[in-house]
């Protein structure tokens, strides 16, 4: 983990599986819908058809369900990470955890019709690769055919990001960390993920509109720093409020007159506190 003052981290050299979007979530049932919302953002920038998106949503849901149900002991949940990477003609998605490993993962409950999840994944993805990344955890990588991927979405150079000091316990308590590039994906992905988390924090429609607007402006500001600048934003969730936290120069939100929104900037870190309204 970096401290707030030394936040620049280059990603690995660009390769076909360099992620365009990374979600750091927690192994709870409610976080699987966050992954589907992030997929909706991917689908929006790739202009995928409904049936294709539905198949990918099914596969990713089953993979994330496996993490939620099998990766960790029932009373000790842990990280659920999902990476989306664009390659020519392909979407590559990696679902990983730091749990008990792949052998235990495959013990699916047999009630009501036996194993269903893994056959669904195998049937609907172009390829599936299960692996044991090392000391602990499981990593499953899927590829999907997605037709033409526009050139600005393919990372031709390493993206770099500035990551605020983000604590795992905020993710454990209902938040998420989103890292995304390029800017047009970051805007949609952050807005969709923040909206679903805000919905759980009982935001009204007006509050959700605030979340959408602020997310997109934060992503725009970060993207304006350069073509290979990725956004990393922490989302903290509390009852009836959320906080978006990222390295950005932003000190206010355009056209905002809402008392439900408070923006501050300290040491280069923009924090937007939003209320449910």
Q: Tell me if 128 contacts other proteins by CB under 8 A.
A: no
Tokens of 209: 């509109």
Residue 161: phi and psi, rounded to 5, are -140, 160
| 42, 68, 155, 231: which one binds other proteins (CB under 8 A) | 68
Q: Which of 165, 225, 256, 258 binds other proteins (CB under 8 A)?
A: 165
Q: If binding is defined by CB under 8 A, does position 258 make contact with other proteins? A: no
Task: Identify the residue whose tokens are 């995928």.
Answer: 48
Q: Is 4 helix (H, G, I), strand (E, B) or coil?
A: coil
Residue 151: partners with Cβ closer than 8 Å, 6 or more residues away: none
Q: Is 243 in the site for other proteins (CB under 8 A)?
A: yes
For the bound state, the minimum distance from the C-beta of residue 92 to other proteins, rounded and expressed in Å, comes to 22
Q: Establish how many alpha carbons lie within 13 A of residue 271's alpha carbon, considering only the half-sphere containing its beta carbon.
A: 12
CB of 270 to other proteins, least distance (A): 9
Please tell me whether residue 167 binds other proteins under the rule CB under 8 A: yes
37, 202, 246, 260 from 241: Cα distances, Å: 20, 8, 17, 9
Output the smallest distance, CB 105 to other proteins, in A: 14
At 267, list the tokens.
């040491």
Is the CB of 1 or the CB of 103 nearer to other proteins?
1
Give CA–CA dist 82/231, Å, rounded: 16
Contact 210/258 with Cβ under 8 angstroms? yes
The answer to the question of residue 54 lying near other proteins (CB under 8 A) is yes
Choose one: 9-17, 58-66, 154-162, 186-194; the region binding other proteins (CB under 8 A).
58-66
Total number of residues that touch other proteins (CB under 8 A): 61
- Under the binding rule (CB under 8 A), the answer on residue 206 touching other proteins is no
Q: Who's near 76: CB < 8 A, 6+ residues apart?
A: none
> According to the binding rule CB under 8 A, does residue 144 interact with other proteins?
no
Nearer to other proteins, 223 or 245 (CB): 245
Cα four-point dihedral sign 216, 217, 223, 229: negative
Token output for 89 = 């003609």
Positions touching other proteins (CB under 8 A) are 1, 4, 29-30, 32-33, 36, 50-51, 54-55, 57-58, 61-62, 65, 68-69, 109, 111-113, 116-117, 119-120, 123-124, 164-170, 172-174, 195-196, 198-203, 208, 234, 236-239, 241-243, 245, 262, 266, 269, 271, 273
């Amino acid at each position: 983990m970096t401290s707030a003052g030394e936040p620049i981290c280059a990603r690995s050299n660009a390769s076909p599986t360099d992620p365009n979007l990374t979600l750091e979530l927690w192994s709870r049932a409610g976080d699987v819908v966050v992954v589907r919302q992030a997929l909706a953002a991917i689908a929006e920038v790739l202009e995928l058809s409904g049936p294709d998106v539905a198949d990918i949503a099914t596969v990713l849901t089953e993979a994330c369900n496996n993490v939620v149900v099998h990766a960790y002991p029932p009373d000790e949940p842990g990280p659920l990470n999902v990476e989306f990477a664009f390659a020519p003609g392909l979407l590559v998605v990696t679902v990983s955890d730091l749990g008990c490993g792949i052998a235990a993962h495959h013990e699916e409950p047999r009630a009501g019709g036996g194993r269903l999840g893994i056959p669904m994944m195998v049937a609907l993805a172009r390829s599936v690769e299960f692996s044991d990344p090392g000391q602990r955890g499981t990593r499953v990588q899927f590829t999907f055919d997605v037709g033409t991927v526009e050139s600005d979405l393919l990372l031709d150079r390493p993206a770099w990001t500035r990551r605020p000091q983000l604590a795992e316990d905020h993710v454990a308590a209902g938040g998420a960390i989103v890292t995304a590039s390029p800017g047009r994906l970051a805007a949609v992905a952050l807005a969709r993920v923040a909206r679903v988390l805000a919905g759980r924090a009982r935001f009204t429609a007006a509050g959700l509109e605030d979340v959408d607007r602020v997310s997109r402006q934060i992503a725009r500001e970060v993207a304006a720093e350069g073509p290979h600048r990725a956004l990393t934003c922490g989302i903290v969730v509390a009852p009836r409020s959320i906080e978006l936290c990222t390295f950005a120069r932003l000190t206010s939100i355009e056209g905002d007159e809402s008392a439900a929104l408070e923006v501050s900037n300290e040491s280069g870190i923009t924090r937007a506190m939003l209320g449910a309204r």
